[in-house]
Each structure stands twice: as structure tokens, then as C-alpha cells.
A and B are shown apart, each in its own frame.
Chain A
Amino acid sequence: MSAEKMSFAQALNAALDDAMADDENVIMLGEDVADEQGGGVFKVSKGLSDKYGTKRVRSTPISEQAIIGAAVGAAITGMRPVAEIMLMNFITVAMDQLVNHAAKLRFMSGGQTNVPLVVRTTTGAGVGFGGQHSDMLEAWFAHVPGIKIATASNPADAYGLMRSAIDDEDPTILIENITHYGMTGPAAKPGYRVPLGKAAIVREGGDVTLITYGRGVGDCLKAAGQLADEGIEAEVIDLRTVSPWDEEAVLSSVAKTKRAVIVHEAVRPFGAGAEISSRIHEELFGELAGPVQRVASYPSPVPFAKPLETAFLYSVADIVHAAQQATEKKV
């Protein structure tokens, strides 16, 4: 990291710019991504079509199946497409291309083809976009062998995950949290990589492990601060990659703290937290001081009105409360 600051959007833009400069096989396609259409709805691709041309940075019709299908086709010829699906709920329109094709072509072809595809998409509750522009759908893709899914909690990781996802020989979905674009943080050095499948311990502590990703990282750090005031030292793990997730990092931390709380913005039932919790119980059951806790959003569609939206999203207080419960029977 350098002393220079960068916003999330700038970090993503820099990662795409550097990747396109390094490899002419890197192309971008998505709705309004070219400069003539504004350089992306959140300006993430601003300046890139002016620099690399509209052959490589292509604004598309509003056709999610055609976007992902074209990206899959280009990828199996060795190009490295970065396809933007403007909002994560729109990915439902392209599920066939992602689940039946991108994820499976390497296997079904016996390794003759592979799909080095990156899908960028944004989502997140709390900004009043309501039921069809806010869902966190990472668990759906975590349930599909052959695809990877990752999300950054800070600008430098956003840069590093993007570069790694573009390098990767398999399809990767990168979720950008809609509340993160303006966030600033230390800038990544050009060429920085965050390896896929590797978690980061963003705060060390010995009493309880808070396991999270994306927006949950900032919330868990806030909760950890409050817990520290009560004498509870929380370790915070940023998974960064949701699938395949870093089991080793999580299990070795929980083996130390004996207590775990999993935090994610997606709704609780059948979420990523269920799998992580299950694996912790399977591997460490006898060593745990208590059951693994989950903090997640309420299982309703994302509501519009503010009080309802607030009732939907988990809060920092929920994390603190879960950690307190986990540490109640302190040994």
C-alpha cells in the first residue's frame, strides 16, 4: 500500500485500466460501460473506451443473457472478458449462461475449454432501491461448482481482487457493494494482487472470531471496537472470496478463540453463513465453547420504506449482541 488514497470506484477503474494495458485480450462489455454512455453507471469504466477503443470496451443492449453469452464465447477463445451486470438482481436474467455454461464448460469439455470470465456487479440494501435492486445473491453461486465469487471490503482489495480475477483461468463473479463506491482507503500499488480463496485477518483477538466479507467487515470492526470496551477481544476475518472460501484461516482462528460469529448482509436461511457454521461444527465441535452464531438480514424481500429497510438489515448492535452471547460462557 502507498500513502496515496483512492476511492473504491477509482481502485476498480485503475485495476481495469492496468489489466487492459497489460493484456490486449482483456475486454469489457456491459450496459453503458463506454464513455459515450457515461463510462458506467458508477463511473467505474470511465475513460477506458476513450483509451482502448469501443471494440474493447463495448456498451451493450439491455440483454443480460446476450452479454454473458458473448463473454463466455469470447472467453473460450482465450480472451479475458470483464462483463458488467449493472445490478446483481439482473444476473437472474443470465443465470443459464452463468450456471449451465460458464461454470461447467471446463468440466463438460474434459478441460479442452475454460472460461476466464469476470462478472462485475453491484448491489446492497440501505439506499432505498427496494426489492429488485438490492439483493445479495452470493450463496446461489457458492452452490455452483466451477464458479468463484468474491467481494472486497476496501479499495486496495478491490484493485487486487479484480486483477486476480482477470488473471484467473476460471469464471469469477465480483460483487461491489453499492454503499462502497465513495469509500476511500490506501491505494493499491499497480500490479497488486489479492489471491482468490485467501482470507485476511483484519483485526486480531483471542476471545471470539467474527467471520465476514464485503460490507460486513467495516461493521465487524465497529462491533469489535465496542466489544473491546467490554473486555472482549474479537478477531475479524475478511473472507474476501466467498467461494472457494478460506477454511484453513477460519478453522485455525476458531480453534484459537473457540467461538465464532458469522456476519453477512444476505438473508440468513441457506446463506453462506450456514455452510461456514456447519463446517466449523463438523471440524471443531468438541473444542467449541458454544454454538456458532449467525448475524444476517431478515428473510423478507428488501423493503423500500426506511424503517422497514432498517428492520431488514442486520445492525452493528446485532453483531455485538451475538458476540456477547457467544462469549457468555467464558472458559
Chain B
Amino acid sequence: MNKPASSPSLSPDMARTIYRKAYLINRTDERFRAMLTNGELAVAYYPVRGHEVIAAAAMAALETEDYLVTTYRGLHDALAKGIPSRLLWAEFAGKRTGTCKGKGGPMHITHPETGVMVTTGIVGSGIPIANGLAMSSQIRGENRVAVASFGDGASNIGAFHEALNMASVWKLPVIFLCQNNQYAEHTTLAAGTSVSSIAERAAGYGMPGVSCDGLDPASVYEAMSEAVSRARAGDGPTLLEARTFRLLGHIFGADYSYVPKEDLSAAEERASMAKLRQWISERQVSEAELTQIEQEADAEIEEAVAFALESELPDPDEIRFDIYETEQAA
């Protein structure tokens, strides 16, 4: 198992990009939870606190046309891949102006223009679908790669095994990005998983398994860039594990008392946004630039919230459309 060392080689431009994405994710998650708390919105939401850097740095290593399949805990992936905030917010609010006309909701975000092809609510199910996206690229001779983003819990379901084996046999241009947050719903990694590092499982499929620090932008970016290069070169898939810690409950509002207090406070310290900001500022990104990034992201969120709240709900008659190509009878 390779462990890329954190290196100072990340360019200032890339550091800025990663910070912009991570900050936007962090503030969007926070704002969304605040709206759930005060009753402005009422939807099932799976918080992404602790996953900001993984999504920001991993998606920064991709092109817009590269494919992504993510999961119900996917706000961070969706934003990092580039879905405009207003479309995402409107979909989260179930409005007709959302990415999916309000038909998908937070668990089923799709936005092909930015490569977000499927968001699944079924643990592990996106992994075989990412193979199909990669197979399409391979057959057509395109340079696109596909990324399947999933959690540590998903590596215990059969779809993971079938998909990684097939991807390896066919040398598909796909990256299996496992965001290991140490918890599968309420079950710890140790209690439910036979290995302590998901990357170890790659050996069983004859593909590289890489583990990186999901709270270190350079570690994630470099590991992801290497996996992307391997896929584009036709050298096949990579299982890339990015280690983090889920800082909130499985679903918004759920009990979280099963997490040991000392583990949580240690993780909160490691995942603090102030620490990330400090780290970025040491990469030739000025205070003025950081402030500008933050102000722009804050404005983007405010505009998106207003758009989502002002937008109309879908017309009930809309139910007849998009079941099949041809509309159904009323």
C-alpha cells in the first residue's frame, strides 16, 4: 500500500481552488442544517462535516466532463464537482427550478453538465454504475474518467466486490474513492469491517490501493491526481481511500452519543476550518485572497438560498412526466 507524503508542491492556484470548494461546502452544510433547525426546510439530510477537504481536493483533480457517481451523503461531492449552488439548493428544497425539477431531492442529485451522473440512496450501488460510465469512455476512446464516491460501509456490500473485480479485469478508467469516515451508520469500522484500512482490499482485485489523509488537501490531491493519470493512461482502476471522521450523526437530528467524546474532539481539532485556512495561507495565498474567496462563497450561498425559497414547487401534474419518454395518462 502506497502512502503519498503530504508535499508542499500544491500550486497556489490549486490551493485557492481547493479552499474555495471546501469553504463553500462547509458553509452550505452549516447553513442547511441551520435552516433545518429553525424549520425553514424539512427534509432528510446527511451532513458532510469532516468530508469537505476530500471532495474539494479530489474533484479539483478532475475535469468537468469526468463522470461522478456519489451517494446520499453527497452534498460535498456535488458542490465540489461544480453544480451551481442555486440549482442544488432548489433541488434540496424540492422546487421545480432544482437540478431534477424537485423529483430527486437531496439523495438523488443529477447534473450531467458537470458530470454528476447519479446520486444513489442505496449503499454501494453507485460503484457498478461508475464502471459503466468508464466502459462507455473506454469503448468510445474518450479521455474521460469515472469516479465512484462512497463510504467505508459500502465496501462491505456485494456490489463493491463485483464492481472492483470487473473494473480490474477490464482495466476500466475508474477511481473508487472511498471516503472512510469511520462509521457505517452507527457501527464503527472496527465492529463491521474486516480490515482497518479499506485500501488493503485492493490487493484482492489486483489494483493499486492507496490510503491518504482526507483532512490534508495535498495528500488527497496528489493521490487523486495519480489515480486519474493512471486511468487516463489506460492502466486501469485505483481504490483510493481518504481517511476522515464523521463529525455529525448519520442523519441530521440523529443521536450521536455513541461516538466517544475524546475521539470526536480530536477529530474536530484536526478538521477545523481555521486549520485549513492556515494551511492554505502558507501556500502563497494572501489574506486578501482568502477573504475574497469567503465573501464570494457566502454571497453565492445567500443568492442560492433566496432562489430556492422564492422558487415554486412542482405542479402536481408533473408526476406524469419522466417515468418513460412518453408522458403517462393523468
Residues of A whose CB lies within 8 Å of any CB of B are 27, 55-56, 58, 60-61, 63-66, 68-79, 81, 96-97, 100-101, 105-114, 145-146, 148, 168-170, 244
Q: Which residues of B contact A78 (CB under 8 A)?
A: 136
Q: How many A-B residue pairs have CB under 8 A?
A: 149
Query: B residues within 8 Å of A by Cβ?
Result: 67, 69, 98-104, 108, 110-112, 117-118, 120-122, 125, 127-139, 146, 158-159, 162-163, 165-166, 169-170, 321-325
Q: B108, B120, B146, B159: which contacts A66 (Cβ < 8 A)?
A: B159
Partner among B102, B128, B135 whose Cβ is within 8 Å of the Cβ of A97:
B128
Inter-chain contact B132/A100, CB cutoff 8 Å? no
Contact among A63, A66, A169 for B325, CB-based, below 8 A: A169
| A113 touching B129 in the complex, CB below 8 Å, given contacts A65-B162, A66-B159, A66-B163 | no
Give the Cβ gap from B127 to chain A, nearest Cβ, in Å. Answer: 7
A-B contact sample (19 more), CB < 8 A, given A73-B131, A105-B118, A108-B110 = A65-B128, A68-B128, A69-B127, A69-B128, A69-B129, A72-B132, A73-B146, A76-B132, A77-B67, A77-B136, A96-B122, A101-B125, A106-B324, A108-B103, A109-B108, A110-B100, A110-B101, A111-B321, A145-B323
Instruction: List 3 A-B pairs, minimum CB-CB distance, nearest first.
Output: A73-B132, A69-B128, A110-B101
Q: Given the complex, which residues of B lie within 8 Å of A69, measured CB to CB?
A: 125, 127-129, 131-132, 159, 162-163
Task: Give the chain A neighbours of B322 by CB distance below 8 A.
Answer: 106-107, 109-111
> Are B166 and A111 touching (Cβ within 8 A)?
no
**Once bound together, how far apart are the Cα atoms of A112 and B117, in whole Å?**
9
Cross-interface CB contact of A76 among B103, B117, B120, cutoff 8 Å: B117
CB-defined contacts of A56 to chain B, threshold 8 Å: 139
Contact A76 B325 (CB under 8 A): no
A-B contact pairs, 10 of them (CB 8 A): A64-B162, A66-B165, A73-B118, A76-B133, A106-B323, A107-B103, A110-B104, A110-B322, A111-B101, A113-B112
Of A61, A74, A108, which is within 8 A of B132 by CB?
Answer: A74
Q: What's the nearest-Cβ distance from chain A to residue B163, in Å?
A: 5
CA distance A18 to B125 in the complex (A): 33
CA distance A90 to B160 in the complex (A): 18
Q: How far is the CA of A101 from the CA of B124 in the complex (A)?
A: 12
**Would you give the shortest CB distance from B67 to chain A, in whole angstroms?**
8
Q: Is the CB of A100 within 8 A of B131?
A: no
CB distance from B64 to the nearest CB of A (A): 15
Inter-subunit contact B110/A70 (CB<8 Å) = no
**Which of A68, A74, A111, A145 has the largest count of B CB atoms less than 10 A from its CB?**
A74
Contacting pair A61 B323 (CB below 8 A): no
Q: How far is the CA of A65 from the CA of B160 in the complex (A)?
A: 10
CB pair B139 A55 closer than 8 Å: yes
In the assembled complex, which residues on chain A have CB atoms less than 8 Å from the CB atom of B99?
Answer: 109-110, 112
Measured between beta carbons, the chain B residues less than 8 angstroms from A106 are 322-325
Across the interface, A70 reaches (CB within 8 A) one of B120, B121, B135, namely: B135
Q: Are B139 and A27 in contact (CB under 8 A)?
A: yes
**Pair B117/A73 contact, Cβ less than 8 Å:** yes
Cβ 8 A contact of A61, one of B98, B118, B137, B169: B169
- On chain B, the residues within 8 Å of A109 by CB distance are 99-100, 103-104, 108, 110, 322
The contact of B128 among A73, A108, A111, A244, by CB within 8 Å, is A73
Contact B166 A112 (CB under 8 A): no
Q: Are A108 and B166 interface neighbours, CB within 8 A?
A: no
Contacts A65-B162, A74-B135, A76-B133; A107 near B323 (Cβ below 8 A): yes
CA distance A97 to B125 in the complex (A): 7
B112 and A101 contact, CB distance less than 8 A: no
**Within the complex, what minimum Cβ distance (angstroms) separates B138 from chain A?**
8
For B108, the closest partner residue in chain A by CB is: A108
Shortest Cβ distance from A55 into chain B, in angstroms? 5
CA distance A108 to B103 in the complex (A): 5
Q: How near does chain A come to B296, taking the closest CB pair, in angstroms?
A: 27
The CA of A66 and the CA of B162, in the complex, are separated in Å by 6
What are the residues of chain B within 8 A of A70 when measuring CB–CB?
A: 128-129, 131-132, 135, 166
- Complex: how many Å from CA A78 to CA B138? 14
Contacting residues, chain B, for A58 (C-beta < 8 A): 170
Instruction: Decide yes or no: A96 and B100 within 8 Å by CB, A27-B139, A75-B132, A170-B324 being known contacts.
Output: no
Measured CB to CB, the closest approach of chain A to B125, in angstroms, equals: 6
**Which of B69, B136, B323, B324 has the most chain A CB atoms inside 10 A of its CB?**
B324
A117 to B: closest C-beta gap in Å: 10
